[in-house]
Structure 1
């Protein structure tokens, strides 16, 4: 009877709980705050896009194109910080509390250094980077301003991502949610003031939206650091010194391959955007609008994958391999089902959803075709989010990096050009290429996890 009851649920409670010295960490308690945080963070970009859409389609293209690269770097920071959280989780799972606090301190130091370097470098190259995306004239000028301001201060997000990852590793994800909620509220208020101007302010258009983001992130970073210091965790940062940074090699060994994978994927999206720029503003605008919507389709699967990575780290550190395997299989089932249902619903409601951004009938019609293809994209993406994060959580980081890098360039980019440009399928051709990429990577990651080779990896 007990076995039968379990089959009636997607998740077996027995494999979703970790017992720690400070209490229980559960998949549910990790997932819900993670889901809300990811949802709120993306809503900042969605709000920007909707508000800029009321300003002009050119402004949407400028902010959307710049946001592709900015989002690329934010994802890189988050994944590198996620690598640090894996090291922390492994050490906590093995009962090594001092070593875990050393890794937490080192992750903040590493995130600050890496993000500061990229912030200044990419901000200095803002014009050529935006020009490389085939933007011209007024659109290029707006994109450059937006990118330079947001990218030049992106180190704020790098440090914030590390602080959030530390809290999640210790089973305290709620503070990050509270900060994200507050940041979103501020961002929305600032954007409304800048675009709709209920009273006069010295900022306008894309530049004003960028400044709004920066102010929100400054306040968010201050809040998350205060909450981290007052979390009551046994971090002992006041006792750390340069010797503490000795674990930086482990953090980079785990975090950088994941960062390279995410960087390859995000960069492939940027290149595909530059390819679409050849097709004109309509195709580019449709991609930006559709991308803004489909995030809300896969955010559940992505949040489940990120939460699973933390639990996998604890379980692998404690050598509870059977429990980790069963957790992966059940989360995968839930993610695929969620993505399939939500992507179908979004396709059926595509007209009113795209209508939130634009009234252009050509963009709305094109988006309907893309959202149908996206149903198949999201099935593959569910496999990627769960299996990639499970492998990385267990310490198997090199295989996902190699496969993701090859697939992004040899499938996503190559076939985006072949199908979209050479065969004349336009945006639909690019989305078919995305589908091929997601399914190819997802199936290989699935096969890798089932092989059990991740059990031999040590962090």
Structure 2
């Protein structure tokens, strides 16, 4: 295990995370893309159902986030028993949470889709998809938690391979059930739901094998009732604020999307196309921030606080530089990239302008991604959440409406609000990191006291 820790670098951790996230981005819409060959109505029904499922998956993420941080700190402190205990507690907690939410989706799937104003003609497909995928969504909770544990131990490539396998199985299943290949019955949306659930179950089995193979020592599943309650408290201290921040962000973005719909359909379409391109720019920052979180968590656990401080600052420089460079590259080819999606010149010209503004936006986002993940890794969880919520609603939402709708600047005004939000939060996070207040926040100190 020591040798494994010594060989860990930002690059060795980050590139598998980068590929894994990119696969999620590219393959995440596989159901929708393949269903488009079957029925436009099926695509719409699954799209609305996935909005509900996406919110549920965000809620699972709060336990996974706490797991990654606390496990990394304990591994850094060579407290491998505590790391195993945290792993088991987090799996049980997310299993219980997942089963609860799965039950709610099975019982109330029709009511939830009705609340989303799903048209009656789409209800049959929507309920079929949501009942099946929602009924087994607890599997995704376990896959996410297992992946967080595996990555915390430094095996980011293993998590990547599982994701690749899950995506391949999902695509094969979709193909069989949508097109009826090899005599398989054409089940449409129901088949896609079955394929999604089966691929996730296969991913869970693979994760279970990896947990047994990669983690040194036996995981104390049978002793769950005897494990220290401090582990649950620490998971919730990290997870609940993180979940609140994510829910706040999603809510603010939904409201801003409503503002954009007030501007017009072309504005809404432009926003979707532009953000699809932007995802490939900030993907680098996301991967770097997650790799940095693992390293900083271990350094905090082993009391290498100066190393943790400088690791974050070096990662920040890398992420800002790459984000800026990628935004420049995308701006040079913006016209060609938008032409892939549409031939509407109004949308293309507007989108090009937004990509130019992204050159200012993405370096600011890199500040937030890298430093916030480092603060969380050090146990400083609440400050980023409070500042994030304040900035999202006080800056992003407020300025979006004032500039975009009130002054009639449209999408340009809204993108300016995004820039102001990211840079304000980014600079506040940088100040917080440099203050080193996070030195007093380590969960290791609390776990062993």
TM range (shorter): 0.7 to 0.9
Aligned pair in 2 of structure 1 residues 59, 347: CA closer, same or farther (>3 Å)?
farther
Offset, 1:276: 3.6
Offset, 1:457: 1.1
Equivalent in the alignment of 2:447: none
Check if 1:184 corresponds to 2:175: no
Q: What SS does the corresponding residue of 2:75 show, helix, strand or coil?
A: helix
Q: How does 1:55-66 map to 2 (within 5 A)?
A: none
- The separation in 2 between residues aligned to 1:354 and 1:193, in whole angstroms, is 32
Offset, 1:182: 1.1
Q: How does 1:321-332 map to 2 (within 5 A)?
A: 321-332=305-316
Equivalent in the alignment of 1:81: 64
Check if 1:439 corresponds to 2:423: yes
CA contact 2:180–2:186 (8 Å) conserved in 1: no
- The separation in 2 between residues aligned to 1:197 and 1:371, in whole angstroms, is 42
- The separation in 2 between residues aligned to 1:294 and 1:417, in whole angstroms, is 22
- The separation in 1 between residues aligned to 2:411 and 2:300, in whole angstroms, is 42
Q: What SS does the corresponding residue of 1:333 show, helix, strand or coil?
A: helix
Q: How does 1:240-259 map to 2 (within 5 A)?
A: 240-244=223-227, 246=229, 247-259=231-243
Check if 1:221 corresponds to 2:204: yes
Aligned pair in 2 of structure 1 residues 295, 417: CA closer, same or farther (>3 Å)?
same
Question: How many pairs are equivalent?
Answer: 441
Equivalent in the alignment of 2:385: 401
- The separation in 1 between residues aligned to 2:64 and 2:401, in whole angstroms, is 33
Q: What SS does the corresponding residue of 2:373 show, helix, strand or coil?
A: helix
Equivalent in the alignment of 2:446: none
CA contact 1:132–1:274 (8 Å) conserved in 2: no
- The separation in 1 between residues aligned to 2:344 and 2:47, in whole angstroms, is 17
Aligned pair in 2 of structure 1 residues 155, 236: CA closer, same or farther (>3 Å)?
closer
Please give the TM-score of this superposition, normalised by the length of structure 1: 0.83
Moved more, 401-410 or 52-61: 52-61
Equivalent in the alignment of 1:382: 366
- The separation in 1 between residues aligned to 2:198 and 2:125, in whole angstroms, is 19
Aligned pair in 2 of structure 1 residues 178, 131: CA closer, same or farther (>3 Å)?
same
CA contact 2:371–2:429 (8 Å) conserved in 1: yes
Match of 1:204 among 188, 209, 220: 188
Aligned pair in 2 of structure 1 residues 456, 238: CA closer, same or farther (>3 Å)?
closer
**After superposition, what is the alpha-carbon deviation per residue over 1:31-69, rounded to whole angstroms, capped at 9, x for unaligned?**
122112111122222445555667788877765565455
**After superposition, what is the alpha-carbon deviation per residue over 1:107-151, rounded to whole angstroms, capped at 9, x for unaligned?**
111222233334444676666766777876768887776556544
- The separation in 2 between residues aligned to 1:62 and 1:412, in whole angstroms, is 31
Q: How does 1:263-278 map to 2 (within 5 A)?
A: 263-278=247-262
Equivalent in the alignment of 2:88: 105
Check if 1:168 corresponds to 2:151: yes
Aligned pair in 2 of structure 1 residues 137, 360: CA closer, same or farther (>3 Å)?
farther
Offset, 1:236: 2.8
- The separation in 2 between residues aligned to 1:298 and 1:175, in whole angstroms, is 23
Q: Where in structure 1 are there 5+ consecutive unaligned residues? A: 1-17
Q: How does 1:3-402 map to 2 (within 5 A)?
A: 19=2, 24-48=7-31, 50-51=33-34, 67-68=50-51, 70-121=53-104, 150-192=133-175, 201-204=185-188, 209-238=192-221, 240-244=223-227, 246=229, 247-279=231-263, 281-402=265-386
Please give the TM-score of this superposition, normalised by the length of structure 2: 0.85
CA contact 1:50–1:356 (8 Å) conserved in 2: no
- The separation in 1 between residues aligned to 2:278 and 2:46, in whole angstroms, is 18
Offset, 1:217: 1.9
Offset, 1:175: 1.7
Moved more, 94-103 or 143-152: 143-152
CA contact 2:36–2:42 (8 Å) conserved in 1: yes
CA contact 2:150–2:210 (8 Å) conserved in 1: no
